[in-house]
Amino acid sequence: MLDSPIVQVILGMVFVFALFSILVTQVNGVLSAILQLRARHLRDGIAQMIDDPTLRAKVLTHPLIRLVKSAPIAPNRQLTEEEAAAIVSAKLNAVNRIEPKTFVKVLMNIVRSESDAQIYEALLKVLNDMPKGMERRKVALAIARARKNSSDFEELRQVVLTVPEPLYRDALLEAIDKAEELVGKGTDSSNLQGLLAGLRSVKNDVFRTVMQTVIATSQTMEEAEEQLVAWFNEGMTRASESFKANMQLISILTATAIVFVLNVDSIHIARTLWNDPTLRAAVATAARTTDLQAIAGDVLATPTPAPAPTALPVPTESGVFLPTPTPFVFPSPTPEDFGLLPLETEEAEVVPETPQPTPTTDAQSIVSVASSEQATIKTVETVTQAIAQAQTTLNVISGLNLPLGWRFVSLEGVPRDVSTEGFFNDTGNIWNLLPLIGSNPYWFSLLMTKLVGLAVTIIAISQGAPFWFDILNRVARGGR
């Protein structure tokens, strides 16, 4: 049955479609890596979820995210709208994936840092007015421990009660009462209340309402984290749908370019295979023996199923995941975070009224530059690998000796008879397709046939390599 001419032509055409589908995917891989399409869609997806530009800038530059090429920003640092806009529009790193739990932890950490500035503002103002001495240092350390222990003010209250000066003692106790109101006095969900307090500093009303709704419906931090993970997955699913739609459009444009440049005419190829038994048999044999899996690389690989959608789901036709960065945890707060010195050292000359933003250090800049260099190297490696794979695919196609490519050979003055009929029916010769002086009188019908043949090829190879690989298996290997 496989030796039947019609079966060999079908087998050959499916094989050709599979090869060109692989080539389209490999070219898409080059374009995606060079243009950083995944990172762009990932940034756009985050922008749709986090409307507040300052908060978005802090998330995008966080050491665990590193989506843009900018030094990490301390969670409590204040940014102007111009600074935030410049950061979120900075050059992208080659980041293709963000773990949902990582994103949520980063977001919660940043929001919680915003709440600390509000919760402890009144306490720090009173502390700044206190005279230098042992009592002042004890209160400072108690404030640092309260912040470290999720706003547990009981120890701080006991320390404040030992302050001998009634003016400062009463002011500190009043400040503690205000802080407890912000975090929820006497509740087991102080962390949740702290998050809600931090959200009050978020300028964007829509994002603040969304986050407050998600957190307010949770009883524990674990529930809030699960709710936020689900919210992130939902947002990334929408971004993924947009990414797939854009990649489908790019695939069609890529297929169109390849088909027109190489003159991949399905009608002409099928006719040639039908009329040339030697070429037909050779292509059919190649279809049965060629290892498309080796040519395609990860294009035909079966992706490992994930329990839930995360970040931008990767279509089987593209890309390489970057490794997830090693988890980063912000260090526990110390008295120095509040501009205070520990008991073993001399007193600070000035105690700031509010926690000061952490400046970007040389070490942070070095880490940022190193990460950017690693991302650039990874991009170059990805592009080089995709180009090499595309070259291999082109070599296989070239080895089939198919009727590809364009020619321009004038047949003006050539007599049309049986011996020259093939030259006048050659749709690969541009001269036959143009209304030139002395041109082929049947140029229009040949042009229409050519356009139909090219259109069939574009539609076919836009279906994707896995589609044709499956059909090829069914035709050539009995579905195995």
> Tell me: the pLDDT tens digits for 427-475?
888 888 888 767 788 889 999 999 999 999 999 999 888 899 888 888 7
% helix, strand, coil for the chain, step of 5: 65, 0, 35
pLDDT recorded at residue 292: 84
Query: What token pair was written down for 344?
Result: 């073993």
When pLDDT is averaged across residues 228-246 and rounded to a whole number, the result is 85
Angle 361-327-81 (CA atoms, 0-180°, nearest 5)?
50
Question: What is the biggest distance separating any 2 CA atoms in the chain, rounded to whole angstroms?
Answer: 118
CA-CA distance, 231 to 242, in Å (whole number)? Answer: 17
Predicted pLDDT of residue 210: 73
Pick the range with the lowest mean pLDDT from 58-67, 156-165, 302-311, 383-392: 302-311
* CB of 447 closer than 8 Å to CB of 433: yes
Contact 317, 303 (CB under 8 A): no
Output the pTM of the full model: 0.63
Give the model's pLDDT for residue 215. 72
Residue 41's nearest CA partner among 192, 239, 219 is 239
- Higher-pLDDT residue of 136, 478: 136
Give residue 478's pLDDT band: very low, low, confident or very high (50, 70, 90): low
**The pLDDT value given to residue 263:** 94
Per-residue pLDDT band at 365 (split at 50, 70, 90): very low
3-state secondary structure of 44: helix
Across 271-328, where does the E strand assignment appear? none
Arithmetic mean of pLDDT, 50-65: 86
Residue 181 has pLDDT above 80, yes or no: no
Compute how many other C-beta atoms are within 10 angstroms of the C-beta atom of residue 270.
18
Is residue 279 very low, low, confident or very high in pLDDT (cuts 50, 70, 90)?
very high
Any idea what DSSP says for residue 167?
A: H
Residue 185 confidence (pLDDT)? 46
Confidence band of 312 (pLDDT split at 50, 70, 90):
very low
DSSP 94-162: ------HHHHHHHHHHHHHHHHHHHHTHHHHHHHHHSPSSHHHHHHHHHHHHHHHTTS--HHHHHHHHT
Q: What is the pLDDT of residue 372?
A: 53
| CA 340 remoteness from chain centre | 41
113 Cβ contact partners less than 8 Å away, ≥ 6 residues apart: 75, 76, 198, 330
Q: How many CB atoms within 10 Å of residue 218? A: 17
Task: Identify the CA nearest to 239 among candidates 306, 312, 171.
Answer: 312
Beta bridge partners of 92: 68
Torsion of CA 136, 142, 144, 147, to 10 degrees: -140
For the record, the structure tokens of 143 come out as: 């404030």
Residue 189: pLDDT band by 50, 70, 90 thresholds?
A: very low
Q: How would you write 198-233 as a 3-class SS string?
A: HHCCCCCHHHHHHHHHHHHCCCCHHHHHHHHHHHHH
Contact 38, 96 (CB under 8 A): yes
- Tell me the range of 121-135, 263-277, 358-372, 464-478 where mean pLDDT is highest: 263-277
What would the mean pLDDT of 5-33 be, rounded to a whole number?
91
Q: Please, how many CA atoms are within 13 Å of residue 241, restricted to the half-sphere of its CB?
A: 5
Which pLDDT score is estimated for 213?
77
Q: Which residue has the higher pLDDT, 251 or 72?
A: 251
If one compares 8 and 2, the residue with the highest pLDDT of the two is: 8
